[in-house]
Structure 1
Amino acid sequence: MAADSVWWKVWGPWTVVWWITAVALVAAALIVLLSWRRHRWLSGLWKEGPDAGITLYLDDDAIMGIYLQGNYKSALRREVEDRVKTKGDASFSAKVFGVGAGAKRSVDREVFKRYIEEEEPITVIGMMLSVLERAHGIVYADLVDQEIGAGTALTRAVGREVTGGDTVRLSQFNLRALVSVKGKFREVAKDDERTIFAGPFGNGEQANVTVACATKWLRRTVPVGTFQARCFGHVQSWDDGALRFDPIAVFQ
């Protein structure tokens, strides 16, 4: 017993320090792991979009609208300049900038407009989402799993800090929030002006999302029946169990 008492007096405090350090390291590792898992989840949602999909719908006017809002104008200008330069196509460069390839290149409203008109739709939406993603400007949501990705973009969308125990609904988002919504959709109506898609929340027993697209901006034939897609745009309104979504792009 005396030996134990002496040992504890000598090594006891250090043992406590070691245990505290070990617990702190485990906690830190857990935080890093959870952060990594959330990042992987958000990155996974992003990578399923423009990098692997086909553009079904792209509204050039809405793309211009984001540019003209001003929040991301400088970043979009730089991105277009870099992409045109990297493309290394003198003919394409002349079409976009409206000048010879050797002249000074800068991006203004007209140049940006020509870029989205001349470039492939999937490249345009990929460029846009890349810029917004780096600026934490997109909230990601999954209708089937009824999940919304946490982060800076979500905080901006609802106007408050969101903690792990909070319940957040898409209907609470402000009208300027940019949202990428993954779900299963089907065409429910179409005329010369509008093509409307609908997709359920979860099993669809209580609510669904309706996506009203301008028919002229459809880039390919709409699939028959139910199809998986991601809609990028703004939450518009909530009415009688239906969330109305104003799309900028839809891709599969």
Structure 2
Amino acid sequence: MGVIDSEWWALWWPWLVVWAATAACCAVLLRYGLIRAGRLRRRRRGGRTVHGMCFFLHEQRVMDLYQQGGFSAALEQEVADRINVTSGVGLRARFGLGGGKANRDVTKERVTAYIQHSTPITVIRLLMDTMRKEDVVVHADLTTGSLEPNRALAEILRERGASDRVALTEVMSEFVSVTGRFTARSADGGDIVLRAPYGDGRPRAHVKITCEAAGVREGFQNAEYADEEEFQARCLGKVRTWNRTRGELTLDPIAIFR
């Protein structure tokens, strides 16, 4: 019996190695395919945030959100997810050389280094993608009057038995992403004040955003928008106050893009 076993192994062990290697390669390919499929599904649901050109960034608020706002773990996972796409390809290419473990270690080091050396302009782009995935932002389009609640606000509305329609003036505790047609004016100290009308009331309501001079990015000059010229912009921030008498909704901006 021992002789038969020896002869059987001598005959079949090379094929068993080939089959095992083939199965492992198929498993890696399947994992990579599932990752790609998942990313494609996310892209069809909206994909990553299209930011545009950033012309105002409140760096302190950005870093406070990253460090204290509860997004650091999700942000680190977002970076890891992006890096792991290339690490999966590397694992497949070097599978025969046994380089899988080393590749994962390198990925971990890259994620850690990326987070530790991140800058506000880098963080805001990843942060906005992370906030979108976590569904913590209320989206408002001032030109169409549409408002899309986030998950938390939608849950509150359901508990109250209210409809999904809610006024922007009622969104006081959530992050908001507001898109509209703005005008710009200089203010004291070099600040720039943006305003955008919305709604059908009389007098018409408007959003007011004060861009502190220290956060205005190079290249954005008020002179470009003189004489009440309008431009399309999108602001990520939080509602500070609503003045019913003036019809003025004041936003504290985190970042503004056009």
TM-score, length-normalised on structure 1?
Answer: 0.62
Counterparts of 1:128 and 1:194 in 2: how far apart (Å)?
A: 25
Distance 1:189 1:87, change over 3 A: farther
Please give the residue correspondences for 1:53-92 in structure 2 after superposition, counting only pairs within 5 Å. 53-80=52-79
Please give the residue correspondences for 1:102-181 in structure 2 after superposition, counting only pairs within 5 Å. 104=109, 107=112, 112=115, 114-117=117-120, 121=121, 123-155=122-154, 159-161=156-158, 165-175=163-173, 177-181=174-178
Distance 1:171 1:131, change over 3 A: same
Distance 1:112 1:191, change over 3 A: farther
| Equivalence for 1:184 | 181
Counterparts of 1:199 and 1:151 in 2: how far apart (Å)?
A: 22
Q: 1:229 is matched by which residue type in structure 2?
A: A
Q: 2:77 is matched by which residue type in structure 1?
A: R
CA-to-partner distance for each residue in 1:150-173, whole Å, 9 max, x for gaps?
4415326xx432878454112212
Distance 1:113 1:60, change over 3 A: farther
Distance 1:151 1:221, change over 3 A: closer
Unaligned stretches of 5+ residues in structure 2: 1-41, 88-105
- Of the two, which has the highest radius of gyration? 2
CA-to-partner distance for each residue in 1:112-140, whole Å, 9 max, x for gaps?
474125xxx3x543211110111111111
- Name the structure where helix makes up a greater proportion of residues: 2
| Equivalence for 1:194 | 191
Secondary structure in 1 matching 2:157: coil
Distance 1:151 1:70, change over 3 A: closer
Secondary structure in 2 matching 1:77: helix
Q: 1:191: how far off?
A: 3.6
Distance 1:103 1:250, change over 3 A: closer
Q: 1:202: how far off?
A: 3.9
CA-to-partner distance for each residue in 1:160-219, whole Å, 9 max, x for gaps?
3287845411221233x1111000001123343522100000468421000111111111
Counterparts of 1:160 and 1:154 in 2: how far apart (Å)?
A: 6
Counterparts of 1:82 and 1:128 in 2: how far apart (Å)?
A: 14
> How many residues are matched?
189
Unaligned stretches of 5+ residues in structure 1: 1-38, 89-100
Counterparts of 1:63 and 1:126 in 2: how far apart (Å)?
A: 10
Q: 1:221: how far off?
A: 1.3
Q: 1:104: how far off?
A: 4.5
Distance 1:106 1:141, change over 3 A: same
TM-score, length-normalised on structure 2?
Answer: 0.60
Distance 1:247 1:86, change over 3 A: farther
The answer as to whether partners of 2:137 and 2:149 remain within 8 angstroms in 1 is no
Counterparts of 1:165 and 1:151 in 2: how far apart (Å)?
A: 14
Counterparts of 1:65 and 1:194 in 2: how far apart (Å)?
A: 22
Counterparts of 2:134 and 2:55 in 1: how far apart (Å)?
A: 25
Distance 1:167 1:216, change over 3 A: same
| Equivalence for 1:3 | none
Counterparts of 2:75 and 2:69 in 1: how far apart (Å)?
A: 10
1:233 matches 2:218: no
| Equivalence for 1:32 | none
Q: Percent same amino acid among aligned pairs?
A: 29
Q: 1:71: how far off?
A: 2.6
The answer as to whether partners of 2:234 and 2:257 remain within 8 angstroms in 1 is yes
Please give the residue correspondences for 1:44-59 in structure 2 after superposition, counting only pairs within 5 Å. 47=49, 49-50=50-51, 53-59=52-58
Q: 1:85: how far off?
A: 8.2
Distance 1:153 1:251, change over 3 A: farther
Secondary structure in 1 matching 2:189: coil
